[in-house]
Amino acid sequence: MRYIPNTPDDRREMLREIGVSSFEELLGSIPTPLRLNRQLTIPDGQSEWQVRRDLTQMAEKNLNATGHACFMGAGSYDHYVPAAVNAIASRSEFVTAYTPYQPEVAQGTLQVIFEFQSMICELYGMPVANASLYDCGTALSEAVSMARAHTKRTRIVWSEAVHPSYRRVAQTNNLALGTSFDIAHCPNGQQTMDSISMLLGDDVAALVLQYPNFYGLVDDLSQLVERAHSHGSLVIFITDPLAMGLYTSPGQLGADIVVGEGQSLGNYMSYGGPYLGLFAASNELTRLVPGRIVGITKDVDGRRGFVLTLQTREQHIRRDKATSNICTNQGLIAARATFYLSLLGPQGLKAVGEACCRRTQYLIEKLRSIPGFSIAHEGHHFREFLLRVPGDARHFYKYMADNGILAGVPLTKFGINDERGILVALTETRTKVEIDSYVSLASEYASGGSK
């Protein structure tokens, strides 16, 4: 539809049709004190190039990962996106693919989803994965309500090392259902037995753990999983798929539901979205999985075909029974993740993971020797760690950003009361030069260069 503004003639005609002589008369029944009685403060129209120039200037005020060395993570990571991902994903078949309401005519779309699901199953070591959800927060929210529906219990225990934003989304979405949430503190940033097992009990629907956790630590979770299961609780893992080239899969550790953020797989940070919610579950839970699952079958002539195998009926025709209102998936972003994973292969994924770990370890060692700086947690770090800086982390962030480095995400941003804490992430794209300048700027900062 074209937008056609009214001409003065159009307005006169409309007023005449209504039976008034002016716009003022039309508003006559509204008391004068209630009216604005002045023109709206909207500037005059501008040409396209003027608008573009102004917006570009505004956009240049943003600090981004192209103009700065980005050490910020906390759920969104500056991984390299191979050009081939963009080339393949820009094909019109993928870009314009709409949600398969008539699935049988969308074989290509369905095949990509099928491949995507298969890869997520393999990465997480789980038998079932859906066609994706919106982002990790909504995926966790769905996992929580699914655990509730399956166990018919209402209490959730989650560790403090679960990303605060994910927790917030899941809590908001589940509060009205009467779900209660207990947070287990992680004194050393680690999800260990001590505080978590105290909260477990026979009324707990699920224990929620993050692996690698919010602070980048890879915890040993096998005993916790066992303990939760002994109470009949499910265990929900939040796992970055990119870490799966290196570590034991959640499935092998006994997870019942695994969710994750797929942004790290061939997708950009894009100022926060669209992202990709990953969702996998055990066989027993298949029928409760939200969203859609694509399956493979044969037609009457024995030819291979893809079908929307499972879409919980409740979401369509039995809404009163529904535990989820999600009937769709994040098609293009999931397709990008599929291309990324197929381009990297298991070896490539492992190489990216190792590169992240090596860089992280290198920066950790360097920063340890700078007076006033400390690494908050001991343990094995994947790609991320909590740094404590001298003074306020926001001040440190500003100093570093002024010198071309986005130093990390201050913890206060998540409402965590740790003014010195800043979460630092290193992907495979951080060069030695960038890491070394991080270290030298930090040294300067410590020796008063910040003043």
Partner 1 sequence: MNIPSGYLYTKEHEWVKLEGDIASVGITDFAQGELGDVVFVQLPSIGSKAVQGDSFGTIEAVKAVAELYSPLSGEVVEVNSELSATPEIINREPYSSGWIVKIRPTNFEAERLNLLSPEAYKDLTSA
Part of the chain binding partner 1 (CB under 8 A), chosen from 211-219, 230-238, 310-318, 369-377: 310-318
Angle at 149 between CA 312 and CA 231, to 5 degrees: 140
How many of the chain's residues bind partner 1 (CB under 8 A)?
5
Q: Are strands 234-238 and 257-261 parallel, antiparallel or unpaired?
A: parallel
Choice between 284 and 365, CB closer to partner 1: 284
Part of the chain binding partner 1 (CB under 8 A), chosen from 137-145, 312-320, 334-342, 392-400: 312-320
Report in angstroms how near the CB of residue 305 gets to partner 1 at its nearest. 16
| Residue 317 lies near partner 1 (rule: CB under 8 A) | yes
Report in angstroms how near the CB of residue 144 gets to partner 1 at its nearest. 21
Choice between 48 and 320, CB closer to partner 1: 320
Report in angstroms how near the CB of residue 236 gets to partner 1 at its nearest. 21
Part of the chain binding partner 1 (CB under 8 A), chosen from 221-229, 230-238, 313-321, 364-372: 313-321
Part of the chain binding partner 1 (CB under 8 A), chosen from 131-139, 311-319, 325-333, 421-429: 311-319
Choice between 61 and 298, CB closer to partner 1: 298
Report in angstroms how near the CB of residue 287 gets to partner 1 at its nearest. 7
Part of the chain binding partner 1 (CB under 8 A), chosen from 155-163, 240-248, 314-322, 404-412: 314-322
| Residue 319 lies near partner 1 (rule: CB under 8 A) | no
| Residue 287 lies near partner 1 (rule: CB under 8 A) | yes
First to last CA, the chain: 57
> Residue length, the chain?
451
Report in angstroms how near the CB of residue 313 gets to partner 1 at its nearest. 5
Residues near partner 1 (CB under 8 A): 287, 313-314, 317-318
